[in-house]
Structure 1
């Protein structure tokens, strides 16, 4: 049997790391960070415990990698939407819709980020600032730049991009609450209300 090529070794390594990260998501959903044990993650991944330590120094390293890996994957998916040659409002709508669709397809990832991001200073007291910078870089900054572009082009109201960002993600996180997850038929109405509000255009009422 001929030895593996470097490409084959790289593919095996990538596959195993993905197995471990997928297993970590499942164990986290069931046990939380502090309850997640390397042995259980190995069992769920179908790998030996020693192999987990071959790829990751410890549990903290594994979960920090999971944060980076999933955020990078989202940024790659969102890039095509944010950079599209479309009006800003349409890109915002597509961005919001894609996040909802991904949340419904991968609820374990949504649960992971919506819970662990609220507890970074408890779970990772020494790395919280660094981890928050990953959220900034991969989620908040690209979105903020799109808001700034819309204001600059006159396609959006002259709003503070950080305030708009905070409102947008507050609505989004509420919709993606795993205890009361948005349903597919509610995605478009949520998108419409988030972007255009509840007030009728023109500022009048039915009684005027």
Structure 2
């Protein structure tokens, strides 16, 4: 019995997701310049030609991964900003959620590493640089606004909100990259330790 259109689409979507996942691993390990489509195809156990059926080049695949990374990070930040809760709870929820992601979701940390590599690499095409410039500030602005609200509510330490947002994401990205580097030896700081970096005592 022939497959239905829905079944064919499901197969194509699954294969595309597999290529993206393998591309994330290869690019995170080798960087855009050194990585090859053949590396990704081998990891995905498919032919190089089939990989090109989904992505016309390694740059196209890399750009898709960068877009996914920002979509995930920015969506989470905007959802947090929209929640009806005091700033103290938002900061704590953000820290706990990100600690959990780093601990349990390997791809989250790989996406963080990928964006960090793309931000400093001279091999990144111009169109990807434009994506980095246009989308990288959203999560910073959201956290900056939450810190400013928290200062008005008397629960966030009295430092410039922009600088605190930079510190917040520097810590999170550092932990994520540490998780990639150390693997099972990674040990996360406590939520309380991170809270005390930003929040005043209750």
Asked if these proteins are the same fold (TM beyond 0.5), I'd say: yes
Q: CA deviation at 1:107?
A: 3.5
Question: Structure 2 length as normaliser, TM-score?
Answer: 0.78
Q: Check if 1:69 corresponds to 2:68.
A: yes
Partners of 2:142 and 2:159 in 1: CA distance: 17
Q: Check if 1:187 corresponds to 2:186.
A: no
- Pairwise CA RMSD: 2.8
Contact 1:20 1:41 in 2 (8 A): yes
Per the alignment, residue 131 of structure 1 pairs with 132
Contact 1:103 1:176 in 2 (8 A): yes
Question: Structure 1 length as normaliser, TM-score?
Answer: 0.76
Over 3 Å counting, the alpha-carbon distance change for 1:135 and 1:14 in structure 2 is farther
Kindly provide the CA deviation profile for residues 119-153 of structure 1, in whole angstroms up to 9, marking residues without a partner as x: 4351314131322322223x223323323443455
Over 3 Å counting, the alpha-carbon distance change for 1:45 and 1:68 in structure 2 is same
Partners of 2:46 and 2:97 in 1: CA distance: 33
How many residues align structurally?
Answer: 195
Contact 1:28 1:112 in 2 (8 A): no
Highest relative contact order (Cα 8 Å, sep 6+), 1 or 2?
Answer: 2
Unaligned residue ranges in structure 1 (runs of 5+): 202-208
Partners of 2:56 and 2:151 in 1: CA distance: 45
Per the alignment, residue 106 of structure 1 pairs with 105
Kindly provide the CA deviation profile for residues 32-69 of structure 1, in whole angstroms up to 9, marking residues without a partner as x: 32222111201211222122212212111101101111
User: What SS does structure 2 have at the residue aligned with 1:53?
Assistant: helix
Q: CA deviation at 1:81?
A: 3.5
Per the alignment, residue 39 of structure 2 pairs with 40
Kindly provide the CA deviation profile for residues 84-117 of structure 1, in whole angstroms up to 9, marking residues without a partner as x: 2221111111112211221122335424423542
Partners of 1:12 and 1:59 in 2: CA distance: 22
